[in-house]
Amino acid sequence: MTEQEFFRNAVKESLVEYVKNHTIRNKNGSVDMYFFKVNAVNNPDAQTFIRLTKEHQGEFNEVDPFDGREHNFIELGGWIGDQSTALSYMALGQMLGLWKIFQPNLIVDKNKHNWEQIADQLAGLGMVVIVPLPKETTVP
């Protein structure tokens, strides 16, 4: 075993660390998570993301994001440990082509009277969701 392999095995990156090391929030982000936008950084790869997802032990509940069901940021937040990281996790999964994000801006025109308030309420109730891709396009 080389020294590099030894240190790679000794310092095993967690899912939360991976998400934090491979996402950045900014106003010009490529994925709109309603509360903030997210860009990928540091060249994340789908296989590592999938492996870390499958290895992750939930903080407050157990979730399998690859079970073919929709999962919102509240549920994923309980699994990851906080909702903000869950939103970045969800965005990274979309950028890696593993699912799509559904959120209120996709169905509510915030420029219409009172619709921004409705969109805020929908998002606050958990309507920021990962939606599985059709089976023939999923990676896991």
The kind and range of the H/E element at 38 are strand 37-40
pLDDT tens digits along 6-21: 444 444 689 999 999 9
Nearest residue to 34 via CA among 103, 86, 102: 103
What is the number of domains present in the chain? 1
Taking each helix axis from N to C terminus, what angle separates 73-80 and 15-22, rounded to the nearest 10 degrees?
Answer: 120
74 in a structural domain: yes
Helices (H) and strands (E) in the chain, counts: 6, 6
pTM for the predicted model, two decimal places: 0.86
81 in a structural domain: yes
pLDDT tens digits along 125-138: 999 999 999 876 55
5 in a structural domain: no
4 in a structural domain: no
SS3 state at 47: helix
2 in a structural domain: no
pLDDT at 72: 98
pLDDT tens digits along 32-91: 999 999 999 999 999 999 999 999 999 999 999 999 999 999 999 999 999 999 999 999
